[in-house]
Chain A
Amino acid sequence: DQQVKQNSPSLSVQEGRISILNCDYTNSMFDYFLWYKKYPAEGPTFLISISSIKDKNEDGRFTVFLNKSAKHLSLHIVPSQPGDSAVYFCAADSNAGKSTFGDGTTLTVKP
């Protein structure tokens, strides 16, 4: 049972445009949702998160939206930059702190 799903394995956008990465989940008991960015040969790096009681969180170029009724969240990056090219993982936390990760979406930002 895959509790966190990222249905798009890859996304390609032009530099300066918006990147939208999507994530769906099945467990309504998750308390927090997080996005991580991962470069090859490195560990994931925490990017931004949102509590389950909120519907939006913004940090610079990154905004995460949470739609609890649809069990869906998305990460918006605007404007996208070539350095944003990486694998992006959506993760969901239970109260115990364990994170369940999605499969990841490879974002390519073309100059």
Chain B
Amino acid sequence: EPEVTQTPSHQVTQMGQEVILRCVPISNHLYFYWYRQILGQKVEFLVSFYNNEISEKSEIFDDQFSVERPDGSNFTLKIRSTKLEDSAMYFCASRKTVSVNGYTFGSGTRLTVV
């Protein structure tokens, strides 16, 4: 069964530092997403990416956030200057088409900002 792989599984960083969360989506998928879930809260959409550009982003996805697909396999989320409130589980997801087929999610990266 193809998987979405996320690294690292847990990242601890100091407030103000930059972090890069990495994802390897399923190879023949075309749509890529980042979601996050703050502890005890709902899963929130951050950004969608298709055809090498952002197709939609949420209000959460401000100038501190950026995404890249630097090569044919990796999909990264960068937070330039982390804040305490960025502490959350960050999930990468991909899908082949926009249809009744849901996302395939990775296992997530737990980001802790101290």
Contact = CB atoms under 8 A, between A and B. Distances in A.
Contacts of A99: 33, 45, 102-103
Contacts of B91: 43-44
A104 B95 CA distance: 22
Interface in A78-106: 89, 91, 93, 95-104
Contacts of A22: none
A87 B105 CA distance: 15
Contacts of B100: 32, 34, 49-51
User: For the side of the interface on B, what is the size category?
Assistant: 20 to 34
Interface in A2-37: 32, 34, 36
Contacts, number: 68
Contacts of A51: 100
A100 B93 CA distance: 14
B98 A97 contact: yes
B45 A43 contact: no
A96 B98 contact: yes
Contacts of B31: 97
A98 B95 CA distance: 11
B102 A95 contact: no
Contacts of A49: 100-102
A19 B44 CA distance: 26
B37 to A, nearest CB: 9
Interface string B88-112: 0001010100111111111110000
Contacts of A34: 100, 102
Interface string A44-56: 1111011100000
15 contacts: A43-B93, A43-B106, A46-B101, A46-B105, A50-B100, A89-B43, A91-B102, A95-B98, A96-B48, A97-B50, A100-B45, A101-B35, A101-B43, A101-B45, A104-B42
Interface of A: 32, 34, 36, 41-47, 49-51, 89, 91, 93, 95-104
